Structure 1
Amino acid sequence: MAYGWYWLDDSKQWIEYGEEHPRHCRATVTSEILEKEFLADPSGVVLFRAGSQKYILDFEDMVQRNLDYKTERKVERRQKPLLCEERPHRSQNTTLSNAVYPQQWDQSALPDIGFKLVEVSESSIEYINIKHLFEKTMKNYVIRRLQRIQNPTLWQVFQWQKEQMK
């Protein structure tokens, strides 16, 4: 089972360690490195850099601390979806209910076939992030409501194609 390591930024977005991001410097550690260190010592710490900043990640507290500014950010270890070649052979009767979907999806609104239109709450982090991005380019417009289409079949196809591109 593969795991990913993520930290929470100021806009409440989870960023995977070592991945490219438009607003943040890439960390010198990756999820793979952090997972190896964690398995070796679940109560240990890891020192790393992101840009000019120095950090320590504490596995017990699940936080990263900036060594200069003493700021802390939450850290999470999450199970990652299996790559195509790692997936066990699935029978025809297996449904997509075992699959991993985006965390903001309403898990109670996952249809077996087709899609489901879900209202996004104005108080949710997802809504706030989308509103922020929308207002950057559409300054004189108002969002009346925001809906998400949850389509498990297309999500699975997208994940498969993404892995093929890698």
Structure 2
Amino acid sequence: MDPALQELVARSFHPPQARGIPLNIHSYGPEEIAEVLDSLLTTQVTMGKKVRAFEHAFAAYCGAKEGIMVNSGSSADLLALAALTNPALKDRLHPGDEVITPAVTWSTTVFSILNAGLLPHLVDVGEDFLLDIEQLKEAIGPRTRAIMPVHLLGNPCNMKAIED
């Protein structure tokens, strides 16, 4: 990447100061902006070496053989649930299985669950707008086969607590 571009972005980036409830604080900084501009200038925005590099890095981070980049979280949800309901899997999700997800989410989260023939079980969120862990524990029942957390508004869920 052009160092002059990185320097320009670093000098120009001035994130707004949060007031009240911080619902829209940016989760990106000058490095991400410079990468976006570099990608736009090289016209490599949907495929190419950066996408392949990201797929490989993300797969390694997850301990997986492969990683697939998609255009949105909605597409990722559809793809993940299609994989988890695939008849080729020995221990797959079946129609009617329950999937716990937060009540505060995008409609496509619930649509993806329904589209896969599964039943959404909505659980309330805490003050951080993420799954309330205590309510999650209470919601797990005999029909629960999966938990579909949503990292909302740039806030990551407490995956350790969810996995436990």
Query: What is the TM-score of this pair, normalised by structure 2?
Result: 0.24
Give 1 or 2: higher strand fraction: 1
Query: What is the TM-score of this pair, normalised by structure 1?
Result: 0.23
